[in-house]
Structure 1
Amino acid sequence: MEVEVLKTLARGWTDDTWPMIPCPSCSRGELGPDDQHPLAREESWESKDWRKHDFWEPEWIHGQFHGALVCGRAQCREYVAVTGDWKLIEQRDDENRWDGDSFQPLFTPRFFLPALKLLPTAPRLEIPAPIEERLQAASTVLWADPSSAGNRVRAAAEALLDDQNIPRTATTAKGRTQRFTAHDRIVKFRTAGHPEEADLLEAVKWIGNDASHEDSLSVADVLDGVDLLEHALRLLYDTRPATLKERASRINQQRGTRPPADQ
């Protein structure tokens, strides 16, 4: 759920389209703009300079904003600092029509503190700590430096391979250390009986490669990688299927929800 909401957030929001996202502190409440302290925005020097242009239009206005979001849960009320960019866009009605005169600011985030979580909090999804740590590291830089975040998501995928006992190195017959690439390890993971999970991790690896070589990843690109990694994590670490299988077996043996009465 978080990934889809974050993708919406990456596209920007207006005053009336803020996507409610889970609080990074309590994971139970939802973040929203603080009505008592609305986001403060300033027009940039460049935007002011553009006003001198003969063909200036209101859509050229842009700048930076800062402020706080607040958790709506009364027991939490966490404040999350946010900064980013804004620009004016045409304000449209419910039928997507512009009246030819109205504009509204579109906010695009660049930083959150505390960082927003990339994966939902799920009691039955027991993700190993090294993977969670790398995803947390990715979340702290996601908005400001998506390519760096993409590298950290790839590192989380490699941590998953570590947890699945897929070696990083091997000793050759001559006693030398042979290092395996991420691709080599994914191939080993596939042949070890995890073809679906290996395909997901391979896609995460390619996204990480783009981050390393092109420095051009978007937030949406990184979130695609997180989405793929999350599915692999659910296939490997979600305890719910085993729990449901055990429950079904017990009910079938009892031929109902309760053990048969003693005869």
Structure 2
Amino acid sequence: MNREIWSKRNFTNKSPVDYNCPKCNIGILNITNLNSKIIPGQDEMEMNNYPNGIDYVFSGILVCKNSNCKNVLSIIGNVLKDIHNGYQLPNGEYVEEYLSVYYPKYFFPPLKIIEISQKVPKEVAQQLNLSFSHFYNDLSSCANRIRNSIELILDDLKAPKKYKDSKTNKLKAFRTLHHRIENYEKKTKNKKITNLLFAIKIIGNEGSHIGNIALEDVLDAYEFLEPILDFVYDKKEKNIHIKASEIVLKNKPMSKH
């Protein structure tokens, strides 16, 4: 996962972001045909050349530059146009320019924050794609969808959903996702994978509190998810367990440490 790209929440007409094509995963998307319309109430600012930008909504088309792909996506969001920016060159010359800053809200089909192998089951891939679709517009919903995906992954790991109550000798459903992961850890002794699962669960829970989730925490969750997907579906592991251990130890996302 390229954290640098996904940490950028906007782009300008001077420096567009090199988004990867979600279809071929190798081509860069060329942003074309950006159309915008001023938001009602901004007309007076436009007439007075407001220097800090004027609110518009925009839509556009993105086309994959890979000649063997040429995938097409749509994009919508908000844009601040005519932002006045002045700077001085090394030779002392002062340059003035006007920028447009674009804030994407939705991509369709959604961009893929992490790659999803063909081996990943449809139900898990669906939750991940839904998380991608929320990434630019609602980080809380994004985090919750990631959390949903690990519940399905636990199913594929054959992690029990129930336990035998010692008092009644009857099977009872685990009360929380935490208890289910805990039980899986006791049975498998796979501390590395369960640490990652616990970390994602903690971040997902944070997403349930409106406005509390931070972008870097969501990116952590995606980063932790990659080795889990490799382990469960591609039978590989990656060395990203230290950060997960810290989150589990302190029982809070990294941004809250």
For the superposition of Structure 1 and Structure 2, which TM-score range results when normalised by the shorter chain?
0.7 to 0.9
What whole-Å deviation, never above 9, does each CA across 1:168-195 have from its counterpart, x for those lacking one? 2224252352324111122223332221
Q: What pairs up with 1:2-151 in 2 under 5 angstroms?
A: 2-8=2-8, 10=9, 12-34=10-32, 37=33, 39-50=34-45, 57-88=50-81, 89=83, 90=85, 99=94, 101-120=96-115, 126-151=119-144
Distance 2:80 2:135 in 1: 21
Q: For residues 204 and 110 of structure 1, do their structure 2 counterparts lie closer, same or farther at Cα, with a shift above 3 Å needed?
A: same
CA contact (8 A) 2:77 2:102 kept: yes
Percent sequence identity over aligned pairs? 26
CA contact (8 A) 2:162 2:173 kept: yes
CA contact (8 A) 2:88 2:95 kept: no
CA contact (8 A) 2:60 2:74 kept: yes
**Which of 148, 153, 156 matches 2:149?**
156
CA apart distance, 1:235: 4.2
What amino acid is the match of 1:205?
A: K
CA contact (8 A) 2:230 2:236 kept: no
CA contact (8 A) 2:61 2:72 kept: yes
SS in 2 for 1:18: coil
Kindly name which structure, 1 or 2, has the bigger radius of gyration based on alpha carbons.
1
CA apart distance, 1:20: 1.9
Q: Which residue of 2 aligns with 1:200?
A: 196
**Which of 228, 235, 254 matches 1:232?**
228
CA apart distance, 1:85: 1.2
Stretches of structure 2 that go unaligned for 5 or more consecutive residues are 238-257
CA apart distance, 1:71: 0.7
Q: What pairs up with 1:147-226 in 2 under 5 angstroms?
A: 147-173=140-166, 174=168, 175=170, 177-191=172-186, 192-226=188-222
Distance 1:207 1:93 in 2: 43
Distance 1:156 1:93 in 2: 50
Deviates more, 1:225-234 or 1:111-120: 225-234
What whole-Å deviation, never above 9, does each CA across 1:211-247 have from its counterpart, x for those lacking one? 2122443555433321221133234444468xxxxxx
Q: Alignment RMSD, CA only?
A: 3.1
Deviates more, 1:156-165 or 1:166-175: 166-175
CA contact (8 A) 2:116 2:125 kept: no
CA contact (8 A) 1:2 1:120 kept: no
Distance 1:27 1:43 in 2: 34
Distance 1:188 1:94 in 2: 62
CA contact (8 A) 2:35 2:58 kept: yes
Normalised by the size of structure 2, how large is the TM-score? Answer: 0.76
Distance 1:211 1:68 in 2: 31
Q: How many residue pairs align between the two structures? A: 231
Deviates more, 1:206-215 or 1:64-73: 206-215
Distance 2:114 2:35 in 1: 29
Normalised by the size of structure 1, how large is the TM-score? Answer: 0.74
What whole-Å deviation, never above 9, does each CA across 1:42-101 have from its counterpart, x for those lacking one? 232243355699xx8411422211111111122322221000111244366898x99463
CA contact (8 A) 2:26 2:66 kept: yes
CA apart distance, 1:105: 0.9
SS in 2 for 1:22: coil
Q: For residues 159 and 228 of structure 1, do their structure 2 counterparts lie closer, same or farther at Cα, with a shift above 3 Å needed?
A: same
Q: For residues 149 and 45 of structure 1, do their structure 2 counterparts lie closer, same or farther at Cα, with a shift above 3 Å needed?
A: same
What amino acid is the match of 2:17?
A: P
Q: What pairs up with 1:247-258 in 2 under 5 angstroms?
A: none
What amino acid is the match of 1:14?
A: T
